[in-house]
């Protein structure tokens, strides 16, 4: 049907138009011939012929074309169905909002409403007595969180501090970082064994293995892509790698086995456009869901390095760009929220820097009596979870308005 519709509107020239057009072309041709003949006569220097020459130009002055009568075309109404109109002019489709998927509950649609910063961030809750130190946090939901400290244990607790699940690292050493896949499998970096492990339901295995590189940080994007920051001891260099996580289902299985997870390398981010290293010592890593930028804490330069989704350099953030309330800057954990803000933990000054997606400093979050901030994360309702190294507490902070 759609292929036939344009025939309804096919333009057919009228006989009058075609006749006048043909006559005009003929007269123009004769005029051009007469002009050429006059040029030849002038160049010939033949006085006798020039005096006896009589140009037949009266026929061009008769105004034969002036009597053309043009009438407005008649519009013929054709009834079209809705489907036919869609074929001709297209249609608007409802575009689903992007989602932030840290787990099932984090698949909530990101709101287009701009949330304002609270004048004074509110300490929503404090989880106490969970550990001597809390170095890393990863939200399972708005009610539960995974955390690790100075031991080989990774623990999931609720807001009351009740233990829900415990995982031990395969090497027996402290995990460097942790994240959740879109299917709620836990990923953690084992820098000793040079692996990124995946764990669920008391089972675990090495998902990514490296020879000379040690994984330092890991995050999972809203599309399920795994991003890992790595450091090479021998070379003293760092890079970031992106993996697509494939899931091979088995028809006779109700649940997916960890053995059926297959990571596929998508991108290696190591150098800028001039061929120089982007990172000196890449540690914490996070993706900004609003524009897919990749944000990395660089402990070698005390900066945060931001590249776009293709790995092209965008900017570097350092303390000079802030209000310089604090003299030093040593970036640790990084988190991003639904507004595109980048939150950077700085434990030595017990504060968190907040910048926008274009490096503009926005504010500090430093009024909640933090005691050694390192790991941070954002839950599905855009609350900030802060792990304290010095106190072993986990604090939940509301820093944006509800509306």
For position 149, which CATH number holds? 2.120.10.30
Examine the domain organization and report whether 45 and 111 are in the same domain: no
The model's pTM is 0.71
Query: Domain check: are 135 and 39 in the same one?
Result: no
* Residues of the domain holding 11: 5-89
Which of the pair, 184 or 108, is modelled with greater confidence? 184
Rounded Cα gap, residues 76 and 36, in angstroms? 48
Number of separate domains in the chain: 2
Q: Which of 27, 56, 89 is the last residue of a domain?
A: 89
Question: Is the residue at 138 inside a domain?
Answer: yes
Contacts for 306-309: CB closer than 8 Å, 24+ residues apart:
306/342, 306/359, 307/240, 307/269, 307/278
Q: What percent of the chain has pLDDT over 70?
A: 77
Q: What is the largest CA-CA distance in the chain?
A: 123
* Inside any domain, residue 366: yes
Tell me whether residue 157 is in a domain: yes
Is 143 found in the same domain as 72? no
80 and 11 belong to one structural domain: yes
How would residue 326 be classed by pLDDT, with cut points 50, 70 and 90? confident
Spatial distance between the Cα atoms of 235 and 278, rounded to a whole number of angstroms = 14
One domain for residues 73 and 110: no
Same domain, 190 and 219: yes
Q: Please tell me whether residues 111 and 84 are part of one structural domain.
A: no
Considering the domain boundaries, does residue 98 fall inside one?
Answer: no
Same domain, 125 and 244: yes
What is the rounded average pLDDT of the residues 51-73? 63
Confidence of residue 285 (pLDDT cuts 50, 70, 90): very high
> Where does a domain end: 54, 89, 124?
89
Q: Which of 267, 338, 269 is nearest to 298 (CA)?
A: 269
**Which has the minimum average pLDDT: 168-177, 258-267, 388-397?**
258-267
Q: Is residue 59 domain-shared with residue 146, that is, in the same domain?
A: no
- Same domain for 383 and 325, yes or no, is yes
Band of pLDDT at residue 100, cut at 50, 70 and 90: very low
Task: Quickly tell me which residue has 């096919």 as its tokens.
Answer: 10
Query: Is it the case that residue 302 has pLDDT exceeding 50?
Result: yes
- Asked if residue 180 is part of any domain, the answer here is yes
| Interval 6-61: pLDDT, tens | 444 445 555 665 666 777 778 788 888 878 777 777 777 776 776 777 766 766 66
Residue 97 lies in a domain: no
Q: Does one domain contain both 71 and 157?
A: no
CA distances from 372 to 117, 262, 289, 391 (A): 23, 37, 27, 8
66 with 132, same domain?
no
Q: Is 21 helix (H, G, I), strand (E, B) or coil?
A: helix
């Amino acid at each position: 049907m759609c292929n036939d519709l344009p025939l309804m509107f096919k333009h057919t020239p009228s006989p009058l138009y075609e006749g006048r057009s043909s006559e005009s072309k003929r007269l123009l041709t004769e005029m051009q011939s007469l002009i050429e003949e006059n040029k030849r006569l002038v160049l010939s220097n033949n006085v006798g012929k020039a005096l006896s020459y009589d140009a037949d130009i009266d026929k061009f002055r008769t105004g034969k074309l002036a009597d053309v009568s043009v009438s407005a075309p008649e519009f013929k109404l054709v009834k079209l169905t809705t489907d036919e109109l869609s074929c001709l002019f297209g249609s608007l489709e409802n575009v689903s909002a992007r989602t932030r998927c840290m787990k099932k509950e984090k698949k909530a649609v990101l709101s287009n409403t701009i949330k304002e910063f609270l004048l004074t961030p509110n300490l929503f809750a404090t989880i106490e007595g969970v550990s001597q130190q809390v170095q890393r946090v990863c939200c399972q939901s708005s009610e539960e969180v995974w955390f690790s400290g100075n031991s080989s244990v990774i623990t999931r607790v609720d807001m009351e501090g009740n233990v829900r699940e415990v995982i031990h690292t395969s090497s027996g050493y402290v995990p460097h970082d942790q994240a959740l896949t879109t299917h709620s499998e836990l990923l953690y970096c084992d820098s000793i064994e040079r692996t990124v492990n995946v764990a669920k339901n008391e089972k675990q295995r090495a998902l990514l293995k490296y020879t000379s590189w040690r994984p330092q940080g890991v995050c999972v994007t809203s599309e399920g892509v795994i991003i890992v920051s790595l450091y090479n001891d021998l070379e003293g260099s760092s890079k970031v790698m992106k993996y697509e996580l494939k899931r091979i289902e088995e028809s006779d299985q109700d649940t997916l086995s960890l053995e059926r997870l297959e990571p596929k390398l998508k991108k290696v981010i190591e150098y800028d456009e001039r061929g120089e290293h982007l990172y000196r010592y890449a540690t914490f890593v996070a993706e900004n869901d609003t524009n897919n930028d990749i944000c990395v804490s660089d402990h070698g330069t005390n900066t945060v390095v931001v590249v776009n989704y293709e790995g092209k350099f965008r900017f570097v953030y350092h303390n000079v760009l802030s209000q310089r309330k604090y003299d030093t800057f040593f970036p640790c954990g990084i988190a991003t929220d639904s507004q595109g803000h980048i939150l950077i933990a700085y434990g030595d000054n017990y504060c968190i820097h907040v910048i926008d997606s274009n490096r503009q400093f926005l504010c500090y979050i430093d009024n909640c009596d933090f005691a050694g901030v390192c790991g941070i994360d954002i839950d599905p309702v855009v609350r900030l979870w802060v792990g304290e190294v010095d106190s072993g507490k986990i604090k939940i902070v509301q820093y944006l308005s509800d509306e």
